[in-house]
Structure 1
Amino acid sequence: MKQEEIWDDDVARRYDTDSADHFATEVLAPTVDRLAELADGGAALEFAIGTGRVAVPLAERGVPVTGIELSPPMLEQLRAKADEASIPVVVGDMASATAPGEYTLVYLVYNTISNLLTQAEQVECFRNAARHLAPGGRFVIELWVPELRKLTPGQKATVGEADPGYILLDTYDVLRQHVVSHHFWFEDGAKQARLQRSPHRYIWPAELDLMAQLAGFELESRHADWDGAAFTADSPSHVSVYRIAPARSA
């Protein structure tokens, strides 16, 4: 299934509600604080801007934000919150679409680089970020760490979350580094669960760093979360900050 088929009208309408935990102040405030700091007074470009979960509060902090978004229905939801003058958006693929201008920060949050299903596309995403950045600019990626240690021999699935009303089941194809996330929502009064599937290509941190090097970046920092906790072997995710070389003086 193509990404533009996944992020359709139904998913876009439900997105903010289904992702409500990620809109919570304790989750969103550290994200916006850190991105505002990394923008360093310049403009920011969000790849896969979606419904504007991060872009809207970041723009409200005074950081000029532009977006790239593949899904017109997701963009329609963003437009209910911010108009084109406030947050301009280019419709296209984050691995190839071009936004006008130059930026001090490009960012890609909530595991979204894994929506690109080949290594080549993920490398091109880094290169696209590099093309948009001013010398010394930063590319920030928030990404989960593959949970392969949870897979016993012969097991192909892990339970990512199991909360009242929601279960996340991930099925792994370790040969291709692919994961299909199965999201089950159990709504009050409903006889059946609502299911959404999304395919991903998982990336190890070391592989991500090599992709960055191929695009001219160096790893500046890596933490376990937006609050700056230390990244360890047990961290389930990371926030990695890559920096492109500053301009050389004449």
Structure 2
Amino acid sequence: MAGTQYLDTAQGRRIAYHRTEGRGPCIVFLGGLKSDMEGTKAVHLEAWAQAQGRAYLRFDYSGHGESSGTFEEGCIGDWHEDTVAAVGALTEGPIVVVGSSMGGWQALLLARAMPERIVGMVTIAAAPDFTEDGYWASFSDAQKQALEDVGQVELPSDYMEPYIITKRMIEDGRKRLVLRDPLKLPFAVRCLQGTADTAVSTETAVRLLDHATSDDMRLTLVKDADHRFSDGPCLGMIEQAVLDVLGDG
């Protein structure tokens, strides 16, 4: 496997990536919060794309994986800038975006920024607006005060060490919300959601489906699948969803 390559962005961040050459549209994987491009789904989809001779891109947001910066410094807007920079510099022509968890929110932001580039989208446990509807909505008065006084709060995670959520992340997230204003997705969209997901609810998935405007958008609920959505059957469903939006399903 080729080694990690790096992209220096206009914002002064260094983004680590792996790019596979092949026929388009290029498949772009957008990972979740505190995830990285070595995750099961990102690597599996790369091998699948290579086997089919398809172009593929996976990368680490700043503060994630091998990219520059620390997680605590970042926010939704920074990672959106990273995504736009990576897509702009490392892909050409039409793309299919595959967004997992927070990457689903990033995929929707990308659809607003460059709808003309996207010909299909697959979301996996998409978590749009989670800084507001998940974190802020569930914070106690003491946690909200801590954000003001200290600038951050610590939240436990089911999957890794605690998350440090900063005041900047919350405030920046409010500028990036996608479920409050019209959300046009003028391409095929396939949303995958596990019913045993403890991080993103099926209600969130249905809310996105109801809110977005698209002529070809489908939500698939998978009984007992969790947030990782990474076992064999789930990975197969991701492959099929990509083929579906490509028109090859």
Classify the TM-score, shorter chain: 0.3 to 0.5
Structure ranking higher in strand proportion: 1
TM-score normalised by the chain length of structure 1: 0.41
Structure ranking higher in helix proportion: 2
TM-score normalised by the chain length of structure 2: 0.41
| Structure number with larger C-alpha Rg | 1
